[in-house]
Chains A and B, each alone.
Chain A
Amino acid sequence: MHDAGKVTIGLVIFLALVSAPFWYNLSSGRASYTPEVEYPKDAESCVRDSAYMAAHHMDLLDEWRDQVIRDGQRFEETPDGGRRECSLTNTCLGCHVSKEKFCDRCHLYMGVEPYCWECHIIPEEL
């Protein structure tokens, strides 16, 4: 008794599961898609360099949040001696005016649903 039928069914299920993501990409046709974010046209620089921001923006926001909420420090010093508000709504979204065209592009792509927006208002939607 070799159970050829049952074994075949099992193997087909296994191969289907393993190949499912390949088929999925094929059928969606979006495997080569990469998100294009819209950068502010009039800003010269970001609060940190862009490579750092790409990887660590959540660290910075986390840091700012603690700083503002816990220590009451709403501002940080800029390299040129100025002052900058530690604020997602005012500072970040001040330059990156469109959440949809900046934040969401990558977040959607990466399947990330940050809970920033549970509290923060989105200026463009006002």
Chain B
Amino acid sequence: MRILIPLLAVVVLIAIGTVGGGGARYLFFVVLPYAGLAIFVLGIVYRVIHWARSPVPFRIPTSCGQQKSLPWIRSNNQENPHNMLGVIWRMILEVLFFRSLFRNTTTEIRQGPPRVLHNPDKWLWASSLLFHWSLLIILVRHFKYFVEPVPNWIIGLQNLDGFFQIGLPVLLLTDIVVVGALSYLVLRRLWEAKLRYISLPADYFALFLLLGITGSGIYLRYFDKSDITLAKQLGTGLLSFAPVVPEGLGATFGVHLFLVSILLAYIPLSKLVHMAGVFMSPTRNMVNNNRWERHVNPWDYPVTVHTYEEYEDEFRDVMKAAELPVEKD
């Protein structure tokens, strides 16, 4: 059920996209993309502001390296930042290269005399890095459909992506990589008992949706080709607030665009909001300078404490008997 429901949901979305691409074109090619984009932008902004409204009462970075203490001990500003530069560097590594995932290990218990082994495991790191980077490159590549004139660097990126010049239109590496990586991410959830256990319908839905998008995109590029200048007319029209709905874009295109609209809207409403959340994580984005710079908690309030006077009042006699100094005799 956890797998079937999201699969069904994506199939239904594909069906809707197929029908919509043929029928209600203005709705599917203009209204829904705009709605998706609006929900995406406003949703992310809303979520970030919502997070920011909760203060960070304590400075709680996870220190993954040597602290800054004595001058002759080399501190690790990258894994345990002691200034803003360190934090920025840490965040760059985290966001662009998934530093923390790179540490991943797989635990195995070998029997006999029991041995707990922590085997390095870069599969999750590699597949998610490849997936995210491919998706980013694909997204950037797509701007050729949305802006005129096409900037040279986008063309350069596209040529790099098609470096091997296989087939016509040339095979883009990211197309292969993104599907491969996504498939791995799906398969590990199905294969590995631990992952199957923790996976929710939403986890599968996101992956199936992305597979639907990349799949329909690949189908459009290599199999169900159409006059792509029409797609660009739609794209530039949308991105200049002068939408035109050209004739001649087929059902597959409808599916592709519809799924993208859904994805855009889905991001801020779901776990996919991690794209913004990663920047807000207090264990990663804070300087570990607690002992030389005081962090203020905005909602700090006074609490009942047991004062020394109360303590001495209770124990004065025994303190005096033990010849411990007291404040009052």
Q: B-contacting residues of A (Cβ < 8 Å)? A: 1-4, 7, 10-11, 14-15, 18, 21-22, 24-26, 28, 30-35, 51, 54-56, 58-59, 61-62, 106, 108-111, 113-115
Contact = CB atoms under 8 A, between A and B. Distances in A.
7 contacts: A2-B56, A3-B52, A18-B41, A22-B239, A22-B240, A25-B239, A108-B150
Which label, helix, strand, loop or mixed, suits the secondary structure of the A interface? helix
A110 B228 contact: yes
A58 B168 CA distance: 6
B200 to A, nearest CB: 27
A115 B114 CA distance: 61
Contact of B52 (A2, A30, A59, A108): A2
A115 B165 contact: yes
A14 B147 contact: no
Interface in B285-326: 295-298
B168 A25 contact: no
Interface residues of B, number: 49
Closest 10 CB pairs of A and B: A111-B150, A31-B240, A111-B144, A54-B227, A62-B168, A7-B52, A25-B240, A55-B225, A30-B148, A31-B236
Interface string B86-101: 0000000000000000
B113 interface: no
A31 B239 contact: yes
Contacts of B168: 58-59, 61-62, 114
B53 interface: yes
Contacts of B297: 1
Nearest to B159: A113
B45 interface: yes
Contacts of B146: 21, 25
B41 A28 contact: no
Contacts of A32: 236-237, 240, 242
B216 interface: no
B271 to A, nearest CB: 18
B138 to A, nearest CB: 14
Contacts of B105: none
Contacts of A34: 229, 233
A59 B225 contact: yes
Contacts of A35: 229
A4 B48 CA distance: 11
B167 to A, nearest CB: 7
Interface in B233-258: 233, 236-237, 239-242, 248
